[in-house]
Amino acid sequence: MPAKHVYFVGTAGSGKSTLTNAFQQWLNNEGHDAVTVNLDPGAESLIYAPDVDVRDWVKLNEIMAEYGLGPNGAQIAAADMIALNVKEISQVISGFETDYVLFDTPGQIELFTFRQSSKVVIDELSGERGMLAFLFDPALAKTPNGYVSSLMLAATAHFRIPIPMISLLAKVDSLSELEREKVALWSKDYYALFSSLLDESVDAQTQISAEFLQALETVGAGRPVVPVSSDTREGLEDIYAVAQSVFEGGEDIEK
Ligand SMILES: Nc1nc2c(ncn2[C@@H]2O[C@H](COP(=O)(O)OP(=O)(O)O)[C@@H](O)[C@H]2O)c(=O)[nH]1
Ligand SMILES: [Mg+2]
């Protein structure tokens, strides 16, 4: 069985790095081998020691100094430099005999999902064995408008990187019981989401969100959102179960 590759993507602070670490520990506790890969050339203080670290090839602060770039320009240059080194990075990853490879992606989502180089990197590193795990940040997703915005971000990421994707409601321990229930309902029932949008307000922003919602429904962006927490470890087994079904039973991967 070739290793399964999971890319954790989401907005800055949504919990990608923490979850990469927590999920590796969970897999290890369950007797599965897992390797972590840091794909963020600008990571400053990671809470875990990645098994493979893109900073061994490309370091943001060195690019800034060498080319006189600011942090954003350097991130863009770094993304392309990672793509140039991808064959070597791939060899290092392939050297591990493991069940799972977990990829922690750069803090800001656009650096990963909006760069053409990311597609090159995923194709080269994972081929048909890659999957996205998109993190919904609960601070955003707990309001109807924020939930629709999160859906749009997830749909955009999936549109850019068309490999199997699961959606996760990250840091679910930080939500109240009522908030959790609402998000769970919205993820299952578009009409409930639509109705919450209208309850929230009828201003222009809501009107636009409702229209977007209909468009998103048409493109099939609606999918269950799995509640997870790196703190309480809730839902980590669900990531595993969904990943297993995507890789071993899912239709998506065969297409
Ligand atoms: N309550 C709670 N906080 C979390 C959880 N996961 C991450 N965090 C916190 O959220 C912040 C951002 O997490 P991080 O993993 O660095 O996000 P990233 O930018 O997506 O990699 C940190 O302060 C984490 O401690 C979680 O499951 N529950
Ligand atoms: Mg991070």
Strand order in the sheet with 100-104: 52-53, 34-38, 100-104, 4-10, 130-136, 165-169, 225-227
Cβ 47 under 6 angstroms from ligand 1: no
Who's near 139: CB < 8 A, 6+ residues apart? 146, 174
For 35-92, the three-class secondary structure string (H helix, E strand, C coil) is EEEECCCCCCCCCCCCCEEHHHCCCHHHHHHHHCCCHHHHHHHHHHHHHHCHHHHHHH
Cβ 230 under 6 angstroms from ligand 1: yes
Cα of 16 vs centre of ligand 2, distance in Å, is: 5
Cα of 201 vs centre of ligand 2, distance in Å, is: 34
Cβ-contact 22, 102 below 8 angstroms: no
Among residues 1, 4, 2, 45, the alpha carbon closest in space to that of 24 is found at 4
Cβ 12 under 6 angstroms from ligand 1: yes
pLDDT tens digits for range 45-85: 899 999 999 999 999 999 999 999 999 999 999 999 999 99
What residue owns the CA closest to ligand 1's atom 5? 171
What residue owns the CA closest to ligand 1's atom 12? 13
Q: Looking at residue 5, what is its pLDDT?
A: 97
Ligand 2 (single-atom ion) residues, CB below 5 Å: 16-17
Of ligand 1's atoms, which has the minimum distance to the CA of residue 10?
Answer: 20
Per-residue confidence at 101, pLDDT binned at 50, 70, 90? very high
Quick one: which ligand is closest to 106's CA?
A: 2
Measured CA to CA in angstroms, residue 93 lies from 13, 53, 58, 96, 102 at distances of: 26, 10, 16, 6, 11
Q: What burial class does residue 121 get, using C-beta atoms within 10 Å of its C-beta: 0-12 exposed, 13-18 middle, 19+ buried?
A: buried
Cβ 215 under 6 angstroms from ligand 1: no
What residue owns the CA closest to ligand 1's atom 23? 13
What residue owns the CA closest to ligand 1's atom 13? 15
Task: Give CA 39 to chain center in angstroms.
Answer: 12
Of ligand 1's atoms, which has the minimum distance to the CA of residue 12?
Answer: 19
Measured CA to CA in angstroms, residue 52 lies from 35, 39, 92, 103, 187 at distances of: 8, 9, 8, 9, 35
- The residue-averaged pLDDT of 86-110 equals 95
Cβ 173 under 6 angstroms from ligand 1: yes
- Stronger pLDDT, 56 or 253, i.e. the higher one: 56
Residue identified by tokens 């809730």 is 234
- The residue-averaged pLDDT of 96-124 equals 92
Token couple for 56: 């061994």
Q: Looking at residue 17, what is its pLDDT?
A: 97
Strand, coil or helix: 230: coil
pLDDT tens digits for range 11-33: 999 999 999 999 999 999 999 99
- The residue-averaged pLDDT of 241-252 equals 78
**What is the pTM (predicted TM-score) of this model?**
0.94
pLDDT tens digits for range 118-142: 999 999 999 989 999 999 999 999 9
Cβ-contact 57, 82 below 8 angstroms: yes
